[in-house]
Structure 1
Amino acid sequence: MNPYLTNLSKEEKIERLITLLKEENPGYASLAEPADAAGKRRLLRTLMNVRWPGEISAEYQTLQDSLLQEESKERGIVSIKELPTAASLYPCTKIKNADRITLWQGDITRLSADAIVNAANSQLLGCFVPCHGCIDNVIHSAAGVQLRNECARLMEAQGHDEPVGKAKITSGYNLPAKHVIHTVGPIVGQEVTDRQREELRSCYLSCLKLAAKQGLKTIAFCCISTGEFHFPNKEAAQIALQTIDTCLSVLDLSRVVINVFKEEDFHIYKNLFEEQIVSWKI
């Protein structure tokens, strides 16, 4: 790693990365650059989000990796192993494997785990909408452009879109997590169908089986399909928790984190853990 590049200030790294991405695409030459630091960082994320898969220069990779790892430390890295289990927080829970499940509210890109789960789209290339708030965009933005490049290689080898309910694994690159497991959830219309319930169940099952097959011990799930794909939050949580609890009885995983971002989802899962009778209405 070039010490000169890594010793640049954060703003200098951002400015140089913007220049390198603009040089890749002549159409961006006249793009105005904001004067403030926050605006420049947003522009860099925008250019990363819209960048099509392709090789990157050694200079770009060194600067990007240094910047993203610095930002990761600033956000604060959270070790899954240090988080309390659901069994310790909800001692009266009837969830069988609550001693190996954690409910945690926060930014999934902060988690140090063997794998975090990305709710991907069927192209598996990440979100191209600049600075979009979906988990797909957030994870790719924190991991770096290498993640999109690896996903592109997987999809080229596969030769078709990723089916709903399946899972693929990649490296985590600049994330604290070692790997990212990508799964495509069902898109719900006016009401949930039985097929969509089974597809969502398959997302969790495929991710857990893949993690176990790869010898991973810790995995963190986002709330698959409840955002842009409109699966009802409570029903999705019931499916997720039942599938995770059932799988932990047969798979050699030490900890599964249910990661939520919204207060609504936290309370849904909290209530599920606190129910005295587990009656899965799915």
Structure 2
Amino acid sequence: MDRKLLQYLVEYLVEEGKAHGCALPPAAADAAQGGLASASTEALWLAFRSLVNVRPPWPAPGEFLATQDELLQGLIAEAGVATLADTTPSPTDPRLRLWRGDITTLAADAIVNAANSGMTDCWAPLHYCIDNAIHTFAGVQLRAACANLMAAQGHPEPTSQAKVTDGYNLPARYVIHTVGPIANGRPTDTHRRQLAECYRACLDATAKAGLSSIAFCCISTGVFGFPQEEAASIAVATVRRWLNEHPDVPMTVVFNVFSETDESLYRPLLGL
């Protein structure tokens, strides 16, 4: 992690926030308290991440974007970029694959972001949900792009649709954003239908964009509270059905999981 790049970025973001009368998030305030020049690299990273988490989609100068892009691309390269060849194919259906890892390091044509109805990230400093992670490592350009989409739409994003943006600094070329159902641990038939529609909408968007690979996160199973086992079954069944209904569309689908629990749920569904 390049400390010089981080210090420049944090200094810019702190001054930008002050100019707009914004309070610093705690991690940034902590780093700034003793002087950014003496802050540790880890403290600067937490400050940077928390600042971009709360930064509105303001225009950013070219120097900031170039520095940010260099930092984020370097971090992703250090973490190691995974390709489709690193994923595990289903022995019963080679169109389907499983991969456990950080979706922000996966070089698929598109990755799926589990968004909220605001569509511009979760805004919670240092919250480690997938929405926050994807926006952080894509860069501030992603929030700006989502804000433009929402301004043009004029209303919150409905459940079970899909919107496509560039991936910016991510290895994935595109991000497909979908809002899953909020089940709170007690899914209804409507929630089940909405979850299936999320998968279909993302696949439709991928095909319409002319892409041939997509990596799904576990939609709605985080704070939205859809039970993981049932969500996994719906995901695999819905994707299989869509692929069978579109035999002329070449598509590789990766189910990306982050936890050992989710991996154990998907393996038998994929015949692994």
Using the size of structure 2 for normalisation, the TM-score is: 0.91
The alpha-carbon distance between structure 1 residues 11 and 265, as it changes in their structure 2 partners (threshold 3 A), is same
Write the distance in 2 (CA, Å) between the matches of 1:207 and 1:253.
15
Question: Quick check: 1:22–1:28 contact (8 Å CA) kept in 2?
Answer: no
Q: Does 1:268 align with 2:272?
A: no
Write the distance in 1 (CA, Å) between the matches of 2:83 and 2:160.
28
Write the distance in 1 (CA, Å) between the matches of 2:257 and 2:126.
20
1:273 CA drift (Å)? 2.5
Q: 1:31 aligns with which of 29, 32, 35?
A: 29
What does residue 109 of structure 1 align with?
Answer: 104
Write the distance in 1 (CA, Å) between the matches of 2:231 and 2:269.
12
The alpha-carbon distance between structure 1 residues 157 and 20, as it changes in their structure 2 partners (threshold 3 A), is same
Q: Does 1:248 align with 2:243?
A: yes
Q: Structure 1 unaligned runs (5+)?
A: 1-8, 88-92, 276-282
Q: Structure 2 unaligned runs (5+)?
A: 33-38
Q: 2:95 aligns with which of 81, 91, 100?
A: 100
1:105 CA drift (Å)? 0.5
Query: Following superposition of structure 1 onto structure 2, how do residues 142-157 of structure 1 map, counting pairs within 5 Å?
Result: 142-157=137-152
1:253 CA drift (Å)? 3.2
Deviation string, structure 1 residues 135-163 (Cα, Å, up to 9, x no partner): 00010011000000000000000000000
What does residue 41 of structure 1 align with?
Answer: 45
What does residue 18 of structure 1 align with?
Answer: 10
- Residues 225-234 or 76-85, more deviating: 76-85
1:249 CA drift (Å)? 1.6
1:248 CA drift (Å)? 1.2
1:191 CA drift (Å)? 1.4
1:164 CA drift (Å)? 0.2
Deviation string, structure 1 residues 252-281 (Cα, Å, up to 9, x no partner): 133100000011110011122239xxxxxx
Question: Quick check: 1:118–1:182 contact (8 Å CA) kept in 2?
Answer: yes
Q: Does 1:135 align with 2:130?
A: yes
1:36 CA drift (Å)? 1.5
The alpha-carbon distance between structure 1 residues 161 and 236, as it changes in their structure 2 partners (threshold 3 A), is same
Query: Which amino acid in the other structure matches residue 86 of structure 1?
Result: S
Give the superposed CA RMSD.
Answer: 1.6
Query: Following superposition of structure 1 onto structure 2, how do residues 218-257 of structure 1 map, counting pairs within 5 Å?
Result: 218-251=213-246, 252-257=249-254
The alpha-carbon distance between structure 1 residues 248 and 190, as it changes in their structure 2 partners (threshold 3 A), is closer
Write the distance in 2 (CA, Å) between the matches of 1:116 and 1:19.
31
- Residues 142-151 or 22-31, more deviating: 22-31
1:37 CA drift (Å)? 1.0
1:233 CA drift (Å)? 0.4
Aligned length: 258
Write the distance in 2 (CA, Å) between the matches of 1:164 and 1:142.
25
Write the distance in 2 (CA, Å) between the matches of 1:41 and 1:119.
24
Deviation string, structure 1 residues 200-251 (Cα, Å, up to 9, x no partner): 0000000001100110000000000001111000100010000111111233
Using the size of structure 1 for normalisation, the TM-score is: 0.88
Percent same amino acid among aligned pairs?
47
Query: Following superposition of structure 1 onto structure 2, how do residues 155-234 of structure 1 map, counting pairs within 5 Å?
Result: 155-234=150-229
